[in-house]
Amino acid sequence: MNNSDQNLPEKSILDVFSGESGESPFPIFVKMRTMGAVIPIPSPISGMDGQAWMVTRMEEAMQVLKDHARFTVDGGSINGNSDIRQKNADPSAPPTFLNAKSMLSVDEPDHRRLRRLVSKAFTPKYMESLRPRVQEIADELLDQVQDKGEMDLVKDYAYPLPINVISHMLGVPQTDQVRIRGWSEAIAHGLGLGRQDPGVAERIRAFGEYIVQLVADKRQHPADDLISQLVAIEEEGDRLDEAELISMISLLIFAGHETTSNLIATGTLMLLDHPEQLEMAKADHSLVPAAVEELLRFNGPATIAGPRFATEDIELAGQQIKKGDMVIPVLKSTNRDELQFTDPEGLDITRTIKRHLAFGHGIHMCLGAPLARVEGDVAFSTLLRRMPNLRLSVPRENVNWHFMLSSQGLTSLPVAF
């Protein structure tokens, strides 16, 4: 392959991951896979030593995500590398998952300790027990718009459903959800790999300060919710310190709704884009769980997994990766790997999927995956049942995307029914 073949994709790749490109990334991912399973790119983070690599295919991505001995999420643990979470971080801000230690940014044994503290609340059995509450929330939201004949699916349904569910679990007051939405949107849209928009630091600080106050309130007035349980654990000492507590809660609030909201909104648009698939789902609601898996594979919320760093020199897919190099599994590319799926660029809700990487893989696989599946199943089933004539109420080209670091979302999705 000559250099001219590589230059264009490199520029395109960085545009996608910086959030500067409004184009669909999927044609770029096809090109990336033809270049190789592991391809070199310029470091997306200024001032960071070492080469950076994109992993485009599933087998190699699973290897990176599973092998936490040779690939760590904690770049600060490798000689000479600064922790990327500290880039542009305000040292005086409260600790959130964006600027302090969290399950996302540590490996064993700390990861196991932190994850175990919340894993009981995220078992498939407990998530399934929430289904009636998720159903109530979905119906309440659609009740508010049913008689109008139209809604913004993002604002009226896809966003409020998961934030109501996670707030119910955690014990976040309903009156605070509007503020949390503002902070979450600013953080999700304002951060990219090596990029931070002006004003985001203030939002991160406000979010952290809010959680500090929330924890103080739970200390005074504990309730039957997950934050109260975590506060009690922290007060026992030894298993969770104050910084970890604040960081953990910020992660659960943010991750508990942002990506699921994108799954519901993007998934609905994908079904509207593929009317024959939508008709099949409407005709047989038992297809919805399989449809959720296919929507996650076809265009799931997460573009990439969190960067890994090689802890030693290693060969991967014929590439010589040096200790300290950044390795970025591109989940949206791996989920359309031609070596894994027949017609990977097509949407087929009857597809039998052995695996996809929308939730990641290995020890850092998404803790909330069982909850996202319940929410997706209820959200799509309820929408199809109650609004069988669902259709876009604006021209398709007027639907606006946000392409971001960790997830991709729609600014709004005006629909009629």
At 172 the pLDDT is 93
Q: 3-397 belongs to which homologous superfamily?
A: Cytochrome P450 (1.10.630.10)
Domain boundaries along the sequence of the chain: 3-397
The confidence band for 102, taking pLDDT boundaries of 50, 70 and 90, is confident
Is the pLDDT assigned to residue 81 strictly greater than 90? Answer: no
Is the pLDDT assigned to residue 400 strictly greater than 60? Answer: yes
Lowest mean pLDDT among 6-20, 113-127, 175-189, 302-316: 6-20
At 297 the pLDDT is 98
At 156 the pLDDT is 97
Q: What is the pLDDT of residues 335-375, one digit of tens each?
A: 999 999 999 999 999 999 999 999 999 999 999 999 999 99
Mean pLDDT of the region 101-121: 88
Is the pLDDT assigned to residue 89 strictly greater than 70? Answer: no
Q: What is the pLDDT of residues 173-223, one digit of tens each?
A: 989 988 988 888 777 766 666 667 777 888 889 999 999 999 999 999 999
DSSP lists the bridge partners of residue 329 as: 55
How, if at all, do strands 308-310 and 71-72 pair? antiparallel
Mean pLDDT of the region 47-73: 92
Token code pair at residue 175: 């009156």
* Contact predicate 326/316, CB 8 Å: no
Is the pLDDT assigned to residue 76 strictly greater than 90? Answer: no
The confidence band for 42, taking pLDDT boundaries of 50, 70 and 90, is confident
Give the residue with greater pLDDT, 180 vs 49. 180
* Contact predicate 304/259, CB 8 Å: no
Mean pLDDT of the region 385-402: 94
pTM of this structure: 0.91
* Contact predicate 267/380, CB 8 Å: yes
The rounded mean pLDDT for the chain is 88
Is the pLDDT assigned to residue 108 strictly greater than 70? Answer: yes
